[in-house]
């Protein structure tokens, strides 16, 4: 639910806390882990073959 609100709906941490009623530290921790692992979701560079 936190990731859906953050990624899909573009909500900020404060808005997520208001909607879910979860603790600030928990929401902040999840959002930070998501940001830190962003490099894993990117496609690797692909060389063009001629």
Q: Which residues of the chain have pLDDT under 70?
A: none
Q: What is the pTM of this model?
A: 0.73
> Please, what sign has the CA dihedral across residues 44, 11, 4, 2?
positive
Burial class (CB in 10 A: 0-12, 13-18, 19+), 23: exposed
Question: For position 50, what pLDDT does the model report?
Answer: 81
Question: For position 49, what pLDDT does the model report?
Answer: 87
Spatial distance between the Cα atoms of 19 and 34, rounded to a whole number of angstroms: 19
């Amino acid at each position: 639910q936190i990731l859906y609100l953050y990624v899909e709906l573009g909500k900020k941490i404060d808005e997520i806390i208001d909607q879910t009623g979860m603790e600030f530290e928990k929401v902040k921790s999840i959002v930070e882990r998501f940001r830190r692992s962003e490099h894993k979701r990117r496609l690797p560079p692909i060389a063009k073959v001629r």
